[in-house]
Structure 1
């Protein structure tokens, strides 16, 4: 577009913006009444009155429109404010409150629409009659993607007493909201005071008697190991008491999140990155509750974010803030880059848990050799989400040659996965290919099992 054409279009653009921001629009009632003018013209022609009845009818509509326009609230007499929480979880219903103030001194019919981000579910318009000076209305929505989103404008339409015209206003009211991953499992664990953790009806393994660090003294019960009896405390209390031990605290857990192309693949409407992130944050909550330190690194073809090791449940909020808006990139990930970065950053022995895709493990030729060197100074756990499509195709009936060929390919891919797992297991590196619905349970149990046998 040339400069001259932009200058010519500026007045029209300003007119459109003015109509959208502070325009006056006809209502459905006025349109129906205008359509009735043809009926009035037809009746006038049949009665031999010519256009007299038609003009009289339209003059009446013009007078009613003027009266209706004068009865509409003036600019600033109706105000709207939004009450929006600072954060919400992905897929969780969110209630937004709208505070309306009426300074016109008369009931005002209105329609109200919020300027929602694209990934939020759009509810019907809020409508009603604002008769009080102050009224609060609500609507329900939910976000379908993680990240930081902006609620910018509010669109308000007010009518006069006759309801023939409505005035439109675009009110600037910018607010921000953070959409976190699904943290219901994390909150369920943090609120649990049980020794056996139960999340979504599944029991997590927790051995309270393992470890070498002294935890407490309690009364002896049958089946307790007699070697742990505290004879001094038993003599003072005149009953058998036993020492209770737990795994040593202060160990380091490092979580690696792959944000490459393969992690953007959806499984049942959720991306692999979303599922892995929720499991990783649950694992972090468990480790922090156990007294360990947790570090986190997210990467794709480059390092996206790194959180150094920290302890305490306050550190969990730091981890959430660092990863809640991460998205998968349309590039192949580079796990060697992430592992080399961590090897420079962390000299202390730690448990490294890598959330990635099995295809990335298989396609990276140098990964296996580097993992073998790294396992001397760190304990490694590689996780991958099982591909349900491969599982289904490998078990389908071969009814024709095409399906038989696809089945053979699926079985070959699964054999490659199992061969990689066996190769890594032989080198002392645990690799788990887990269905999506068992990821959180499996990774937490694996961590607790490693803690119980003092392998870290």
Structure 2
């Protein structure tokens, strides 16, 4: 039950004449008694809320930053019209900050609360109300409860009750780097020989024979084929297919650091999605593993058609864990997931202490059988700090930034000396840089 502002206003207005003309308890009781009787009648005539039937339909998944629509169907089985308000409560992260206001507005009212709706359901009928969600975080979003307030014809008193109507909307990674995919696929077609001359060199698959052209590498001459024909024949090659690419995402404490407006983990996931899409188009088999002290997500054995859908679903609920990553467990799990020779792409931070104490002593287990590529998100703010000279604080900041950059370069050089390919780029550049590194390895026949 709920008393409305109209009832309170009528009580105040009715009490004023009594207080001014003839103050007495009799006059107060007469006014308030009449108002109480009107409220009781109003409450009795209001449509019951406990008997309402509610159901949901609509979107079950949405990319971060896009809008999802969830429809709530309200059925009024009573003989009284249902007039009032409805609040469809979702977590605060279901809308951008500042969307909700103190007032009550419709879902489509600018500046109104999108979770509130005005109710007008005739007896025995149903109405649909659409709540538009625009989540600001990845993961599953579930509603709390639906609260319905039913007013009587006088608007003095209201029935109120809550219903739980289960639903879930999974918020997927946004995949901003998708815009780079067409240019990377064009480069892949060049390597594949569709838009340019086929590459030649060791470590690639034999494709066909063609006539020798001055400038060709003499090591590509096929002497047996030359002996069978009157012209010199050379072998052409194409990048190997059906290789194994395993993406390993470090979800430990270093992935929680924010670079710009997002954690390192989100930038790493975006780069992993672009590389997975590119590798699957290249005919390679792609696997995915998220790990800190245990396996947080795994995708393996999927075809190119459903790979991206499986990856974004697996990444949707991933959050950085504020624990130190178990490097030995990560390496053991990655090697077990890649029994054949593979390209292992490790997306982690190039922080000196965790790598020197954890990963570097275990590199031989990875590089002995596999090709290792380490990708890390660099903070562009550090480069800006390194240029500061305007004040004492700026000079100290520049010295600190220069030391941090030197440590990252030192760690990267240590990895390169072990035969590891290192990609260290800003969040917006990491995905295309990682794709370029993959294409370079493929062109060189190192996969």
> How high is the TM-score relative to the length of structure 1?
0.78
Q: Which residue of 1 aligns with 2:155?
A: 163
CA shift digits 1:25-54 (9 cap, x unpaired): 101111111222331322433xxx855654
Task: Quote the residue 2:21 is aligned against.
Answer: 44
| 8 Å CA contact retained: 1:68, 1:163 | yes
C-alpha displacement of 1:179: 1.9
Q: Structure 1, residues 379-428: CA drift from partner, whole Å, max 9, x if none?
A: 1111111123322221111522x432332121011112112223333432
**Contact 1:84–1:96 under 8 Å retained in 2:** yes
Post-superposition Cα deviations, 1:177-197, rounded to whole Å, max 9, x if no partner, equal: 2222113545x68xx8x6x45
Any idea what SS the aligned residue of 1:444 has?
A: helix
Deviations 1:345-367 (A, max 9, x none): 42311111111111167643353
| More displaced 10-residue stretch of structure 1: 26-35 or 358-367 | 358-367
**TM alignment of 1:182-201, pairs within 5 A:** 182-183=174-175, 185-186=177-178, 196-197=183-184
Partner of 2:272: 280
Change over 3 Å in CA distance of 1:413–1:268 after alignment to 2: closer
Instruction: Give the match for residue 68 of structure 1.
Output: 42
- Asked if the contact 2:248/2:334 (under 8 Å) is kept, the reply is no
1:103 is matched with which residue?
77
Shift of the alpha carbon at 1:251?
0.3
Greater CA drift, 125-134 or 440-449: 125-134
C-alpha distance in 2 between matches for 1:117 and 1:313: 33
SS of the aligned residue for 1:173 comes to: coil
1:86 and 2:63 correspond: no
1:317 paired residue among 299, 309, 325: 309
* Runs of 4+ displaced beyond 4 Å: 49-53, 203-206, 210-216, 243-246, 360-363
Q: Is residue 61–residue 68 contact of structure 2 (8 Å, CA) maintained in 1?
A: no
Aligned to 2:443: 452
Q: Decide which of 411, 417, 426 is 2:408's aligned counterpart.
A: 417
Contact 1:148 1:178 in 2 (8 A): yes
How far apart, CA to CA, are the structure 1 residues paired with 2:323 and 2:246?
24
- TM-score (norm: length of structure 2): 0.79
Equivalent residue, structure 1, for 2:398: 407
Q: Which runs of 5+ in 2 are unaligned?
A: 101-112, 209-215, 221-234
Q: Which residue of 2 aligns with 1:6?
A: none
Identify which of 357, 369, 392 aligns with 1:377: 369
The equivalent of 1:130 in structure 2 is: 120
Alignment of 1:300-339 (within 5 A): 300-339=292-331
CA–CA distance in 2 between the matches of 1:306 and 1:361? 27
Where 2:168 maps in the other structure, the secondary structure is: strand
Structure 1 equivalent of residue 10 of structure 2: 33
**Comparing 256-265 and 207-216, the one that deviates more:** 207-216
CA contact under 8 A between 1:261 and 1:332: conserved in structure 2?
Answer: yes
| Among 253, 261, 283, the residue aligned to 1:291 | 283
CA positional deviation for 1:214: 7.8
Mark the CA change 1:245 to 1:184 in structure 2 (over 3 Å): closer, same or farther: farther
Task: Rate the CA distance shift 1:366–1:330 in 2: closer, same or farther, 3 A.
Answer: closer
**1:146–1:324 CA contact under 8 A, matched in 2:** yes
Q: Look up the match of 1:4.
A: none
Instruction: Determine which of 350, 354, 359 is the counterpart of 2:351.
Output: 359
Q: 1:429 deviation in Å? A: 1.4
In structure 1, C-alpha distance between the alignment counterparts of 2:176 and 2:416, rounded to whole Å: 33
Structure 1 position 134, deviation (Å): 2.1
- The answer on whether the counterparts of 1:90 and 1:181 sit within 8 Å (CA) in structure 2 is yes
Cα shift at 1:166: 1.2
Q: CA deviation at 1:296?
A: 1.5
SS at match of 1:119: helix
